[in-house]
Amino acid sequence: MTKPKSSWQPSDARFSYSSFVIHSSFVIRASSFLLAWFAVSSTLLAADNLGILGTKPNWDVLENYQRTITHDEFAHLLNDVYCTHGIPNDLIKIDSDSAQIVSSRDSGKVFTLQFAPDENSEARIPRLWRPAKSLPPTKPDKPLGGLRIALDPGHLGGRWAKMEERWFQVGDTKPVTEGDLTLRVSRLLATRLKRLGATVLFVRNSTQPITSKRPRDFVDLAKKILIENGVPRPRDEVLNPMDPAKEGTIRWQSEMLFYRYSEIRRRAVLVNTKLHPDLVLCLHFNAEGWGDPANPTLIDNNHLHLLVNGSYLQDELALDDERFEMIRRLLSRAYDEELPIADTVAASMAKATSLPAYQYPTTLTTTKVGSSGNVYARNLLATRIYRCPVVYCEPYVMNSKDGYARIEAGDYEGTKEINGVERKSIFREYADSVANGLADYYREARK
């Protein structure tokens, strides 16, 4: 699940750095403190105009993308995918033969991108990943032959699950921890993808973080963030998980800097500099507000959606690093590959799971894209900074009555009756439907 998107206040946009979505009642829990923090966060970071733990972008690398895209395609991708909440006119200007993009808000420096005059004269797009169409022919039973797929099981699980707030327990039954569930699905999925010919790489294959940093490494930064945002003497005591004031503590802030920002940024370094996949699959389970984790609310709602990168907010584009990452992603044309993959995988998952498509309660942060009805564009940290096509899966509501019963039933072969219906194990259904969707997409695209 991804965290927390608000239906009631746009300044909550800062959380879209996160790679987690928390819905409905989680949103209510977001305190007025958070509101204050996010509302002023651009001021806080004004010195360098960078996102949290972001690094200064090197705009020179975009020189390699000169004349690789036409005016019309650039405008289409901005209007319909990346800047669906408006193009910030003072930061991105499109002329007939070039675009001017402010590279540093402080200095006012501008990067100029020259368009290709027409599709036939487009220069080669520099990128390390390979679109399906460019892969060599393969045997019919190996539709993923030659393909490098990285699996990114969301969150950490294990001893970190409570800290990540990806933990709940009904009575004295086995606790539900998203990071462990996603790892289990990833291992099952890896076997299936290898059988289909893929080379499978794990972004994480244990409950240990990829980042070497720990919350204590972020104590000073957490304190600084709190002080600069109107908490003059931040507290450090541990507060009840239900107490919204916990978000104003050094403890809570430094933990989030560790398990969300630092961890995902390190995963990106691994993906971009070592794994070099053609596709990353981010695997999650969804949830809706469960209230007290030790006495969670189970609900009737269960649903499915997938995410690709896009739908940037104006506040996000005001940060120099996010604006750069958006333009680089646009120019790499990752969207042209990840959208049809997401659509095909979504169709396969919808069929296998019978889950209805999730409808975001607001269009403030997401934009529905594609043809399956299950895919949204959204600017999450992972979908933005992994430099290749990324498909982010959000099936099953863990605290739905059905989802919870299936998680508690564990993994098994064949089918079992759960809530009156014969079902595969939720883990196998997830892994099988993703693998089948990928096989469908690559079989068709490599014909």
CB of 22 to Zn ion, least distance (A): 9
| C-beta closer to Zn ion: residue 193 or 283 | 283
Measured distance CA(234)–CA(26) in Å, rounded: 23
| C-beta closer to Zn ion: residue 1 or 317 | 1
Measured distance CA(271)–CA(89) in Å, rounded: 33
| C-beta closer to Zn ion: residue 337 or 394 | 394
Measured distance CA(446)–CA(131) in Å, rounded: 10
CB within 8 A of 172, min separation 6: which ones? none
CB of 377 to Zn ion, least distance (A): 18
Q: Does 88 bind Zn ion (CB under 5 A)?
A: no
Chosen residue from 265, 284, 305, 428 binding Zn ion by CB under 5 A: 284
Stretch that binds Zn ion, among 92-100, 102-110, 279-287, 335-343 (CB under 5 A): 279-287
| C-beta closer to Zn ion: residue 154 or 395 | 154
CA–CA–CA angle 10, 15, 19 (5° rounding): 135
Site map 3..22 versus Zn ion, x via CB under 5 A: -----------------x--
| C-beta closer to Zn ion: residue 143 or 154 | 154
Site map 107..146 versus Zn ion, x via CB under 5 A: ----------------------------------------
Measured distance CA(57)–CA(61) in Å, rounded: 9
Measured distance CA(3)–CA(269) in Å, rounded: 22
Q: Does 1 bind Zn ion (CB under 5 A)?
A: yes
Measured distance CA(83)–CA(94) in Å, rounded: 13
CB of 9 to Zn ion, least distance (A): 22
On the 0-12 / 13-18 / 19+ scale of CB atoms within 10 A, 41 is buried
- Which residue, among 335, 340, 378, 323, has the nearest Cα to 93 in the 3D structure? 323
CB of 227 to Zn ion, least distance (A): 30
| C-beta closer to Zn ion: residue 1 or 304 | 1
Site map 234..273 versus Zn ion, x via CB under 5 A: ----------------------------------------
3-class secondary structure, 397: strand
| C-beta closer to Zn ion: residue 20 or 37 | 20
Q: Does 154 bind Zn ion (CB under 5 A)?
A: yes
Q: Does 306 bind Zn ion (CB under 5 A)?
A: no
Report how far Cα 27 is from the mean position of its chain's Cα atoms. Answer: 18
CB nearest Zn ion: which residue? 284
Adjacency order of strands within the sheet including 390-395: 199-202, 148-153, 279-283, 390-395, 304-308, 375-377, 367-368
Size, binding site for Zn ion by CB under 5 A? 4
CB of 214 to Zn ion, least distance (A): 21
CB of 20 to Zn ion, least distance (A): 5
CB of 345 to Zn ion, least distance (A): 17
CB within 8 A of 194, min separation 6: which ones? 200
* Contacting Zn ion within 20-49 (CB under 5 A): 20
| C-beta closer to Zn ion: residue 246 or 284 | 284
Measured distance CA(384)–CA(287) in Å, rounded: 22
Burial string for 175-203 (b: 16+ CB within 10 Å, else e) reads ebbbbbbbbbbbebbbebbeebbbbbbbb
| C-beta closer to Zn ion: residue 6 or 332 | 6
CB of 3 to Zn ion, least distance (A): 8
Q: Which helix (H) or strand (E) holds 199?
A: strand 199-202
Sequence-ordered strand ranges (E) for 32-145: 92-94, 98-102, 110-114
Q: Which residues bind Zn ion (CB under 5 A)?
A: 1, 20, 154, 284
